[in-house]
């Protein structure tokens, strides 16, 4: 491991962070604090305004994006090394690091959003226009998309990154994730601007272990949901060269397991499908779909917690 903290210490910190997120992670508490992702996103957005300009050639934009990564990722790696070596030097630093991980995990906040959308879908609104009704379904799809991607990118990927390299890898990874999010705020379609091309490639490669583990955990979770599909891999289109794999794979599995559909988003050509999901998957999300999705997310998060407890016990025993 790159950082000086041993595996058991990291496992304990992650477990405590998950508990803190479950108790205080809502918008009334930790959700009010701007976390690391928000800080990175503000910096990246400012850099994008300065460097990612329409009047520059594709090669120039690609090089500019690569230079930003070449400068920032090593700097954040060194900063993460320093933070990792100081984790247990002072109780304040330890608490700060646990809270930092809890805010990055951020499961409870997105669950709250999904519950609010579910409540809104159940409210009688006979006077809604066709546009207002469609907006409600779109909000439901967006909320479920955020929940699924938060499970992958917020929890599972970060856990793997922390266990491999501590903050020395976590800080660069979060910067990379926010760099991609700046180019593709929603959906799975890759950004069309060359400025983001290298970031998307690195993000998919680094996220691959977490994406695979998430697929396994998600398959188990969806199989345990009442009315869920046993084999969510069957018939699911998991890979698409025009998509960000780390986003498409979990959304495709989730859509296939619950027979729903997500919007692909981005700038699509006429030959590309605008939807992710099985043939006949519902774009109009129902309350029952959201309830089953919340159950699946809870089961998946619980499985991650149990796996971490098992690893902690095994590491302490041997």
Q: What is the pLDDT of residue 3?
A: 45
Residue 89, number of CB atoms within 10 A of its CB: 9
Domain boundaries, given as residue ranges, for the chain: 7-123+130-317
Q: What is the pTM of this model?
A: 0.89
> Which ranges in the chain belong to alpha helices (H)?
7-24, 36-51, 58-85, 91-105, 107-122, 130-149, 157-183, 197-224, 245-258, 287-317
Q: What is the pLDDT of residue 269?
A: 47
d(CA 107, CA 105): 6
Nearest to 202 by CA among 65, 29, 31, 89: 65
Q: What is the pLDDT of residue 101?
A: 93
Q: What is the pLDDT of residue 147?
A: 92
Q: What is the pLDDT of residue 263?
A: 85
Write out the two tokens for 309: 């407890």
Q: What is the pLDDT of residue 309?
A: 94
Spans of the chain below 70 pLDDT: 1-5, 122-132, 235, 266-273
Write out the two tokens for 145: 């998309």
Q: What is the pLDDT of residue 45?
A: 95
pLDDT tens sequence across 153-176: 889 999 999 999 999 999 999 999
């Amino acid at each position: 491991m790159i950082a000086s903290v041993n595996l058991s210490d990291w496992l304990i910190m992650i477990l405590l962070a998950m508990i803190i997120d479950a108790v205080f992670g809502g918008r009334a508490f930790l959700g009010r604090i701007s976390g690391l992702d928000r800080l990175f996103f503000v910096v990246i957005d400012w850099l994008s305004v300065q460097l990612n300009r329409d009047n520059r050639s594709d090669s120039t934009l690609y090089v500019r994006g690569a230079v930003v990564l070449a400068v920032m990722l090593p700097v954040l790696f060194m900063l993460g090394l320093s933070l990792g070596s100081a984790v247990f030097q002072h109780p304040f630093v330890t608490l700060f690091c646990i809270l930092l991980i809890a805010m990055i995990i951020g499961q409870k906040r997105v669950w709250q959003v999904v519950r609010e959308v579910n409540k809104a879908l159940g409210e009688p609104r006979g006077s809604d226009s066709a546009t207002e009704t469609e907006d409600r379904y779109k909000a439901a799809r967006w909320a479920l998309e955020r929940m699924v991607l938060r499970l992958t990118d917020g929890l599972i990927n970060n856990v793997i990154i922390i266990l491999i390299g501590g903050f020395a890898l976590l800080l660069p990874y979060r910067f990379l994730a926010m760099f991609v999010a700046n180019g593709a705020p929603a959906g799975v379609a890759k950004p069309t601007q060359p400025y983001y091309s290298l970031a998307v490639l690195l993000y998919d490669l680094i996220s691959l272990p977490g994406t695979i583990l998430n697929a396994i955990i998600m398959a188990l979770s969806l199989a345990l949901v009442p009315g869920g599909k046993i084999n969510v891999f069957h018939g699911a289109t998991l890979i698409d060269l025009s998509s960000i794999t780390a986003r498409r794979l979990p959304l495709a599995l989730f859509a296939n397991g619950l027979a729903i559909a997500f919007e692909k988003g981005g700038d699509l050509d006429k030959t590309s499908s605008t939807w992710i999901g099985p043939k006949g998957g519902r774009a109009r999300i129902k309350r029952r779909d959201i309830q089953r999705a919340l159950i699946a997310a809870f089961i998946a998060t619980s499985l991650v917690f149990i796996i971490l407890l098992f690893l902690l016990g095994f590491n302490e025993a041997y």
